[in-house]
Amino acid sequence: MNWLASHPFELAELLEQHLAIVGTALLAALIIALPLGYLAARRPAATGPIYGIFGAIYTIPSLALLALLVPVLGLGFWTAVVALAAYAQMILIRNTVAGFQGIDPAQLEAAAGLGMTRAQQLWRVELPLALPVILGGVRIATVALIAIASVAAWINAGGLGVLFFDGIHRNDVQKIVAGSIASAALAVIADALLRGIERMVRT
């Protein structure tokens, strides 16, 4: 706690880096997961392969995944983003599939029967109805990525993980504790915020 109080500017900078990595990774992950999840939900033939590939990536330990990416992408921010985005896929796709599959077929039949085009059915019916479940996935993925993003410091991507690695190198327990508290607090706040949004969307 002492360290946090005495280094507000350094903490702010690390937090900003941490959030940038997580936010960018999440955005990139969503851009991939939403269409893939929709495809997996609507085309049973695609479900198996999509789950297989991203399920496999999900099982690779985070440090190992970073180690594998560094020779290809080098050190730094974007490598961390790629690793985290790959991690988030499985969580996001699973919830996207559940969201779209949870829609009552009668509602889809009605939407088509009333004369909505495919695009109108997607934007006016399917997405709004699947949104609460998809947002649930975003929340779980966000909390997971906030934790995993600490490892990014190991490849010079910055973030709260810097405190862990510095602390370990210099045998500075204060820094390790500070990093843990900051990262846990961030996860708790993000979780609460996203829960709030989920509740707003649900009604």
Partner 1 sequence: MNSASLELRDVSVRYPGADRSAVMSVDLTVAPGEFLVFLGASGSGKSTLLRTINRLVVPTAGSVCINGEDTKERPAPELRRGIGYVIQAVGLLPHLSVGENIAIVPELLGWEKARIAERVDTLLKMVRLDPSYRTRLPRELSGGEQQRVGVARALAAEPPLLLMDEPFGALDAIVRSELGAEMLRIHRDLGTTIVFVTHDIDEALRLADRIAVFHDGRLLQVDAPLRLLTHPADSYVAELTDSSDVLRRLSVMHTADAATADVPPGVEESAPRIDARSTLRDALGQMLLTGEPLLVVEDGRARGVLRFATIAAALRQ
Angle at 82 between CA 78 and CA 85, to 5 degrees: 130
CA dist 37 and 30 (Å) reads 10
Cβ at position 108, least distance to partner 1 in Å: 8
Residue 49 near partner 1 by CB under 8 A: no
Among 49, 55, 128, 196, binds partner 1 (CB under 8 A): 128
Among 35, 49, 57, 109, binds partner 1 (CB under 8 A): 109
CA dist 80 and 150 (Å) reads 10
Cβ at position 10, least distance to partner 1 in Å: 45
145 within 8 A of 157, measured Cβ to Cβ:
no
Among 42, 56, 102, 107, binds partner 1 (CB under 8 A): 107
Residue 110 near partner 1 by CB under 8 A: yes
Window of 53-61, 102-110, 163-171, 173-181 that interacts with partner 1 by CB under 8 A: 102-110
Binding to partner 1, residues 26-45 (CB under 8 A): none
Which residue, 42 or 170, is less far from partner 1 as judged by CB?
42
CA dist 151 and 146 (Å) reads 10
Window of 4-12, 21-29, 115-123, 174-182 that interacts with partner 1 by CB under 8 A: 115-123
Cβ at position 37, least distance to partner 1 in Å: 19
Reading the block at residue 80, the tokens are: 């961390």
3-state secondary structure of 159: coil
- At residue 154, what is the residue type? W
CA dist 15 and 7 (Å) reads 12
Nearest to 161 by CA among 30, 26, 22, 2: 22
Among 43, 48, 64, 117, binds partner 1 (CB under 8 A): 117
Which residue, 195 or 202, is less far from partner 1 as judged by CB?
202
Reading the block at residue 92, the tokens are: 């996001």
Contacts of 47 by beta carbon, 8 Å cutoff, 6+ apart: 40, 41, 97
Which residue, 126 or 186, is less far from partner 1 as judged by CB?
126
Residues that bind partner 1 (CB under 8 A): 104-117, 120, 125, 128-129
